[in-house]
Amino acid sequence: MIRWHIKAPAPRTYVDAVDYSPLVAQLLYSRGIDLNDVPSFVNPDLAVEQDLFGLADADKAVQRINEALLRGETIGIFGDFDVDGVTAALVIREALTGLGAKTTVHIPNRFTTGHGLHASGVQSLRDEGATLVITCDCGISDLGEADKVAAMGIDLIVTDHHVPLARLPVAVAVINAKRADNRYRYTEFAGVGIAFKLMQALYHGRNDASRLNDLLELVALGTVADMVALTGENRRFVQRGLQILNKTQRPGLQALMRVSGLTPGNITSGDISWALGPRINSSGRIDDAAMSLRLLQTTSLEEGERVAAELDAINSQRQQLTAEVYEHVAGKLASQSDRPLLFASDASYPEGVIGLVAGKVSKEYYRPTVVVTEDTDICRGSSRSIPEFDLAKALERCSDLLEGFGGHPMAAGFAVKPENLPALEQRLAHLAARELEGLELNPRLDIDAEVRLKSLGGTTYQALRVLEPFGQQNPEPVFLSRGVEVVECRSFRNHERWTSLRLRQDGVIYDAVDFRTLRGPDDIPPLIDVAYNLRLRRWNGEEVLQAHILDLAPSGIE
């Protein structure tokens, strides 16, 4: 059962001091935006730029890259197979190419080498002539592989945003905003954000530094898709990046928008999350992420159309696989749903979708969830968590059982030998039981404001857009309206548990859709209290406000 938590009302002094409507003021307050920070939140360009060299080792990295440029060395770029890793690799490649560098890129394959830095991939870059290798979105926890790279005589620069271990990898420079010795105050970058910051430092003082601005569409893609906090500099990156993305000149992105049913000029952060990001990610989940790199960097309209169509088809395959594996995992875990940590493993689970399945199970049961693809040599696992349990720390406490691991407090992956899998499950379960003891493990829906439907009409929706872009730590506003009459309710033709509704309150009628509660028309009472997001629906050239229902209850009952 979802707990409704209505956030505290903004004090009158706060509302009066903010130069926006009382509703916008409430939303700013509920996001914890200090009065002094409101101007820079609404307009991120007002934020004070920090010292680029406040990132530890940025000076060393810039010096080594400049040496490579002067000597005409080939610079290898070691990416990752998700949107963040692919966009980070392309940001570095295009920035370096703009300075005349010779570059070569390696995107690892999930199914042959797995996540993270691997000496075999560096060897392939070396075979292409690389003497300096820059990692993107990986490397911070790959200590053994970094040692192998050093033994090969290759200079290594690590750019990563995952939580560092107690020891850093052996490298010329390690650029990570989460390092304890940074002077840079912002820490929540995605891997592509770290890559961009390094390129900003490299371009610092050059006359052509402004050419980096065009790369912000890639930064926006990777930042939103990787679900990092859309606060601080990330907010500025995404806001600027969306402006460029909506006018993109990249044929591959133009084609991907078309197959996704999106219209340039109206692309939002939500469109990245639900349409563009999953399609770009799909190649790394099912096939080879090098396909996504080709899409983003091609200058050919024909190739862009072809690769976009391939990615769209692969994404459909990914959706089907995810649904099938989810049904199997959910069935296996149904009798264990009260355990503090859910753990499922099987040789039949495709590695590319286990993270998505873990996320769906974790959301449904509100438990940290681990899903593992078993193999006779190495088992690979993916896990998703809840705010009350830090997965990254938990896996670090299991490092003696693992062949490799990395990630964030809410999402992490690992590799483990089959013989260590039972011990890993037992230890993770023990850690979760200890950390979560005594807590009420039910999902919580944070509600920004209780409103009447009529208060959201007129210019209100446009006024709310000053809060965009929405994402992690700046979610879409959630409203609660009580005593709402359901005047019409019917199922979608292709999904009997999805419903289309018409809601009425005070004579005002709103269209609504319910993809979340899965109640079906027969289970929805005629008078409800309803929690929802408000979105703009575009259809046949018209724009209509629509409520997207998050939860509902019979009126008067939470």
Q: Are residues 512 and 414 both part of a single domain?
A: no
Strand 495-505 versus strand 479-492 pairing type: antiparallel
Asked whether residue 4 is domain-assigned, the answer is no
How would you class 378 by CB atoms within 10 Å of its CB: exposed for 0-12, middle for 13-18, buried for 19 or more? middle
What angle, rounded to 10 degrees, do the helices at 83-97 and 191-203 form? 10
Quick check: 540 pLDDT over 70? no
Q: Which amino acid is at 303?
A: E
Q: How confident is the model at residue 209 (pLDDT cuts 50, 70, 90)?
A: confident
Count of structural domains, the chain: 3
Q: Is 174 helix (H, G, I), strand (E, B) or coil?
A: strand
Report the distance separating Cα 22 and Cα 449, nearest Å.
Answer: 11
> What is the average pLDDT across 292-302?
96
Q: How confident is the model at residue 338 (pLDDT cuts 50, 70, 90)?
A: confident
Q: Are residues 344 and 460 both part of a single domain?
A: no
Phi, psi (degrees; rounded to nearest 5) at 11:
-60, 150
pLDDT at position 230 is 92
Q: How confident is the model at residue 287 (pLDDT cuts 50, 70, 90)?
A: confident
The residues with which 370 forms a beta bridge, in sequence order, are 343, 383
**Longest alpha-carbon distance in the chain:** 74
% of the chain beyond a pLDDT of 90: 77
Question: How far is Cα of residue 409 from the mean position of the Cα atoms in its chain?
Answer: 13
Report the distance separating Cα 222 and Cα 90, nearest Å.
Answer: 11
Instruction: Assign 3-class secondary structure to 487-499.
Output: EEEEEECCEEEEE
CATH number, residue 159: 3.90.1640.30
The residues with which 479 forms a beta bridge, in sequence order, are 449, 532
CA dist 189 to 198, 229, 428, Å? 12, 8, 28
Asked whether residue 32 is domain-assigned, the answer is no
pLDDT at position 498 is 87
Q: Are residues 467 and 483 both part of a single domain?
A: yes
pLDDT at position 558 is 53
Task: Say whether pTM exceeds 0.85.
Answer: yes
pLDDT of 365-405, one tens digit each?
999 999 999 999 999 999 999 999 999 899 999 999 999 88
pLDDT of 122-171, one tens digit each?
999 999 999 999 999 999 999 999 999 999 999 999 999 998 988 999 99
Asked whether residue 505 is domain-assigned, the answer is yes
What sign has the CA pseudo-torsion 180, 186, 192, 198? negative
CATH number, residue 403: 3.10.310.30
The residue out of 228, 245, 262 marking a domain boundary is 245
Q: Are residues 472 and 357 both part of a single domain?
A: no
CATH number, residue 545: 2.40.50.460
Asked whether residue 279 is domain-assigned, the answer is no
pLDDT at position 404 is 85
Report the distance separating Cα 200 and Cα 140, nearest Å.
Answer: 21
Q: Is 175 helix (H, G, I), strand (E, B) or coil?
A: strand
Closest Cα to residue 106, out of 127, 253, 278, 98? 127
Q: Which two tokens stand for residue 165?
A: 């271990």
Asked whether residue 24 is domain-assigned, the answer is no
Q: Are residues 371 and 490 both part of a single domain?
A: no
Q: Are residues 143 and 197 both part of a single domain?
A: yes
Residue whose tokens read 């409101």:
38
Closest Cα to residue 86, out of 105, 111, 62, 104? 105
Report the distance separating Cα 105 and Cα 251, nearest Å.
Answer: 20
Closest Cα to residue 551, out of 530, 536, 537? 530
Q: Which two tokens stand for residue 409?
A: 């407090």
Asked whether residue 42 is domain-assigned, the answer is no
Question: How far is Cα of residue 359 from the mean position of the Cα atoms in its chain?
Answer: 12
Phi, psi (degrees; rounded to nearest 5) at 377:
-100, -65
Rg from Cα positions in the chain:
24
Closest Cα to residue 404, out of 181, 216, 169? 169
pLDDT at position 539 is 66
Q: Are 478 and 533 in contact (CB under 8 A)?
A: yes
Report the distance separating Cα 360 and Cα 358, nearest Å.
Answer: 6
Q: Would you report the helix, strand and coil content of the chain in percent, each value rounded to 5?
A: 45, 20, 35
pLDDT at position 541 is 64
% of the chain beyond a pLDDT of 70: 99
The residue out of 436, 455, 488 marking a domain boundary is 436
Query: Which run of H or of E encompasses 75?
Result: strand 74-78
Listed ranges 57-66, 101-110, 460-469, 472-481; the one with the highest mean pLDDT: 57-66
Closest Cα to residue 171, out of 151, 191, 190? 151
> What is the average pLDDT across 400-427?
92
Phi, psi (degrees; rounded to nearest 5) at 229:
-65, 130
Q: Are residues 448 and 359 both part of a single domain?
A: no
Q: Are residues 430 and 456 both part of a single domain?
A: no
pLDDT of 449-479, one tens digit each?
999 999 987 788 889 989 999 998 899 999 9
Q: Are residues 86 and 190 both part of a single domain?
A: yes
Q: Are residues 380 and 484 both part of a single domain?
A: no
Report the distance separating Cα 504 and Cα 486, nearest Å.
Answer: 7
Q: How confident is the model at residue 528 (pLDDT cuts 50, 70, 90)?
A: very high
The residue out of 188, 212, 245 marking a domain boundary is 245
Q: How confident is the model at residue 532 (pLDDT cuts 50, 70, 90)?
A: very high
Report the distance separating Cα 58 and Cα 202, nearest Å.
Answer: 9
Asked whether residue 387 is domain-assigned, the answer is yes
Q: Which domain holds residue 472?
A: 444-554
pLDDT of 211-265, one tens digit each?
899 999 999 999 999 989 998 899 999 999 999 999 999 999 999 999 999 989 9
pLDDT at position 341 is 95
Q: Are 361 and 404 in contact (CB under 8 A)?
A: no
Asked whether residue 316 is domain-assigned, the answer is no
Q: Are 305 and 252 in contact (CB under 8 A)?
A: no
Q: Are residues 343 and 457 both part of a single domain?
A: no
Q: Are 161 and 194 in contact (CB under 8 A)?
A: yes
Q: Are residues 398 and 467 both part of a single domain?
A: no
What DSSP assignment string belongs to 406-449? EE-SSEEEEEE-GGGHHHHHHHHHHHHHHHHTT-----EEEE-E
Q: How confident is the model at residue 557 (pLDDT cuts 50, 70, 90)?
A: low
